[in-house]
Homo-oligomer: A and B are copies of this chain.
Amino acid sequence: MLALGLGAGVPSAAGQTTPRARNVVLFIGDGVDDHQLTIARNYLLGADGEFVFEAFEHRAAAKVQTVLERDPRVPVYVGDSASGGTAIAAGVVTSRGRVATRAGTGEPVSTILEQAAAAGKRTGIVTTSSISDATPASFAAHVRRRWCQGPREMWPTPTDPRCPEDLKANGGLGSIAEQLAGSGIDVLLGGGYRYFDQPDEDGVSVLRRASDAGYRVVRDAAELVETSEVSGKLLGLFGDDTLPVEWVGEAGGRARPLQLTEWGQVIAPQPFGCVANPSFGTRPTLQAMTRAALTRLESAPDGFVLMVESASIDKQAHAGNPCGQIGETRALDEAVRTAVAFQETHPDTLILVSSDHGHSAQIVPWPSLFASRQDAQYPPGKVARLLTLEGGEMAVSYGTNTTYLEEHTGTQVPVYAQGPGAAAVRGLIRQSDLFGIVRRALALE
């Protein structure tokens, strides 16, 4: 085993020595930006709180970059999980919706998990979404459009041309689930059973393909624990699609459009707190999945790369559900704690925490800064008033879409790092630089 800083360095381009990491655990908080983090921190830990990763020694801001599909020279200023995932996983700026393929040409791009596996490392993916959703897919699959999660999703719909070019019959690699089943990734834990429970072009279910490829399939938290001592590849599918979130708003509390009285005064929404989701069921928490993955990967003779995503921070922000996004940020923090505990006994582990794109929620003053004016002052979108655990009241506004789901935003996102190679995380970087930072830390180049 390589020891930290003891002859384990590799020379970098600048002639300096980068400490070599044996293992990398890369966390992605989907849709996390400074503002979403502050919302969750205020609620959970108070105005003077700190998440475990915020105490990491190294931090940077990452520019989110994406381009037009029809002309990849033209920058676009708001990304998605596919373009963001591809930038992080493969170091390539692509168009929204593309999974580890180049904008314009569709050429597949090699990912850090593929490169780590080729170098003899074990690999893993853990997520609270379908494991065939855009972020995890970007590390292990290559398709034209992120919606092509299972064989049935390859066919055009009235609003989406989907991925006929990626059908195996057309010389493609097949759907994301099919690619994952054949990926050789050692640990795959998340949701998305329904994409695996589909027949492929030959009429064989993707689940069967996975079993044939050596995967043991587990379906709930108890089974996950039971298999912790069993070696071999593991595919955990703990729900049909995105997994249920850990927290919800008390009594259905979420952000809602404000109501006015007939005299034009705003009716203040009732404040509420967050509670455990009664529909959480038997699925393992993100922390439990992370622990299970680390336990399996710990014995890897040449180390491992594990990607862990807290996916529903994004999905709950889309839905204007602050308790959902706060609970999933808490889940991220707890999963990172597990990795930090692992790092204490395995100091040759690099931990990175970042995000794929910004999101919509904003903390706004309630009442308005201009409440002394005669006319009503209120945000035009949806608002929730949350009672924080320290006894304050925090108003959260979602004001990016009038009719349907809230939008992603284009802000830069934070990056936190600790362990060998972490010092490269500094200043203002590109999201795509994370790929090179991991490669250099692992001495893959």
Contact = CB atoms under 8 A, between A and B. Distances in A.
Contacts of A428: 50, 54-55
A407 to B, nearest CB: 5
Contacts of A365: 78, 407-408, 410
Nearest to A398: B399
Copies in the complex: 2
B377 A35 contact: no
A150 B77 CA distance: 44
A160 B304 CA distance: 62
Contact of A35 (B37, B39, B411): B411
Interface stretch (A120-128, A180-188, A386-394): A386-394
A375 interface: yes
Interface stretch (A40-48, A199-207, A279-287, A292-300): A40-48
B160 A372 contact: yes
Interface residues of A, number: 73
A368 B403 CA distance: 11
A162 interface: no
A129 to B, nearest CB: 16
A18 interface: no
A182 to B, nearest CB: 30
Contact of A404 (B50, B60, B370): B370
Nearest to A370: B404
Nearest to A376: B403
A167 B363 CA distance: 36
A330 interface: no
A118 interface: no
A80 B63 CA distance: 27
Contacts of A430: 48
Nearest to A76: B392
A21 B360 CA distance: 41
Contact of A48 (B65, B426, B427): B65
Interface of A: 33-35, 37-39, 41-42, 46-48, 50, 54-57, 59-61, 63, 65, 74-78, 80, 96, 159-160, 358, 360, 362-365, 368-370, 372-373, 375-381, 388, 390-392, 394-395, 397, 399-405, 407-412, 414, 426-428, 430
6 contacts: A33-B35, A34-B61, A47-B65, A55-B428, A362-B410, A379-B407
Given A47-B77, A370-B404, 6 more contacts: A35-B35, A39-B410, A75-B390, A160-B372, A362-B409, A381-B399
